[in-house]
Amino acid sequence: MAAEQRTEVLLSREEIAATVDRLAVEVSRDYTGKNPLLLGILKGSFVFMADLVRRLDFPLEIDFVRLSSYGQGTETTGNIRVVQGLRSPVRGRDVLVIEDIVDTGLTTTYFLDYLRKKKPASLRLCSLVDKPARHRVPVAIDYLGFTVPDRFLVGYGLDWDEKYRNLPDICVLVESE
């Protein structure tokens, strides 16, 4: 019989909202008056980015890039490419990368190295979720929402095979017979 999928809430919309509030305070403290460039990694970061920036009450700019790392499964291929590139100039800017989740760390490490070559004034990483048990390279997350166990998560922008991005909570995907 084909496996069925269920979702179980791991981080509720209320917990997420409180954590995004906390991250907004931290980011505001460090970036007010600097007109930073917030760079979201698509597609997963779009919900987090939208919620975070609406809590930031100072001038800033936003751009997105699209990187490919995953195929259709739940494991990174480690083979990362910039699919949709950056339009904003990075040189001399205070750049804050916005990521939904750090898993192996390969995607963010690749992208931070790519940006560093463009000589930003500063470069930091904000990730809503981190799965430290899965890191394959060291990753320094400057602003972190949640640390979670090694489970595959969906919702609040996170997908499985392009599904579930619209769930308002962050859920564990459970395969059952």
155 binds ligand IMP (CB under 6 A): no
103 is catalytic: yes
CB 11 within 8 A of CB 169: yes
Secondary structure class of 110 (helix, strand, coil): helix
Options 25-33, 56-64, 117-125, 152-160: segment touching ligand IMP (CB under 6 A)? 152-160
Residues 6+ apart with CB under 8 A from 19: 11, 128, 145, 146
Secondary structure class of 59 (helix, strand, coil): coil
158 binds ligand IMP (CB under 6 A): yes
* Strand arrangement, sheet containing 4-11: 4-11, 170-176, 153-154
CA distance 29 to 82: 31
Instruction: Residue 145: name its binding partner from Mg ion, ligand IMP, none (Cβ under 5 to 8 Å by kind).
Output: none
CB 88 within 8 A of CB 40: no
Applying CB under 6 A, among 101, 115, 125, 128 the residue interacting with ligand IMP is 101
Q: Which of residues 20-49 bind ligand IMP (CB under 6 A)?
A: 41, 44
Q: Which of residues 108-147 bind ligand IMP (CB under 6 A)?
A: none
Contacts with Mg ion, residue ranges (CB under 5 A): 44, 100
Site residues for ligand IMP per CB under 6 A: 41, 44, 69-70, 76, 99-107, 152-154, 158-159
